[in-house]
Amino acid sequence: MTSAREQCGEKTDSRGTALGPAADGPAAVVSVEGLPEWLAPVARAAGTIEPRQLSRFLPPESGGRQSAVLILFGHGARGPELLLMERAGTLRSHAGQPSFPGGALDPQDGDPEGRGPVRAALREAQEETGLDPSGVQVFGVLPRLYIPVSGFVVTPVLGWWRHPTPVGAVDQAETARVFTVPVADLTDPAHRVTTRHPSGHIGPAFLVENALVWGFTAGVIDRLLHYSGWEIPWDSDKQVPLDWRA
């Protein structure tokens, strides 16, 4: 399998550490150098995970709107945590749904086959949450996935929040709030449920921070917890219905 660094056009040493920029523009470095030890299982999983281990929805051979999301790990008062945001309730699609920061690639982000997704994930996170990208170390890029309902081809970009800065909803018309979730809450079986969409789709979900995290975001979190060895057995029969407008 092509490594995350190779996907982004990076030259790497034997440890997978980025050595320098590729030919497609300024460096959007992907490096595992200096990560905290607790993130090592996530970095290892990112380097070996196959697309179908993440989702059954894979990109079509052609078409789809290229996009990226930032899966940002930090360390808070209760240990490791993830940064999430909640979409505004007035939006026409996915209103009120928690998600990772992210969005479609812009031309200035560069090649979708190169470093474009890394640049897009950091840029969108800054635009949506006020995040300072200079404090983020990107350490992995997961295989592209597909969201059929919107036609987005999504590249998940993994980051370590090495130097945290204040964040919040930049545009209330698009983002209701920005919040962090302790990984301990995400792995707690008491916070884990299964959702059933009116369409019939069934998937994992998390009841955390006064929010129901479901859909694409929950699916990626679920698989990361599993392949990083952080998952704790939970009752997948505990089901929560979704509103038909979801």
99: pLDDT confidence band, cut at 50, 70 and 90?
very high
Q: What is the pLDDT of residues 155-167, one digit of tens each?
A: 999 999 999 999 9
Looking at residues 237-244, what average pLDDT do you find? 83
Please give the residue that has the higher pLDDT: either 225 or 10.
225
pLDDT at 89: 61
Determine the 3-state secondary structure of 60 from DSSP.
coil
Determine the 3-state secondary structure of 111 from DSSP.
coil
Looking at residues 183-205, what average pLDDT do you find? 93
Return the DSSP state at 206. E
- As a whole number of angstroms, the distance between CA 171 and CA 176 comes to 8
Average pLDDT over the chain, rounded to an integer: 87
Which candidate, 80, 69, 62, 146, places its Cα nearest to that of 102?
69
90: pLDDT confidence band, cut at 50, 70 and 90?
low
Count CB atoms within 10 A of the CB of residue 5.
Answer: 24
Q: What is the CA radius of gyration of the chain?
A: 17
Per-residue pLDDT for 200 more than 90?
no
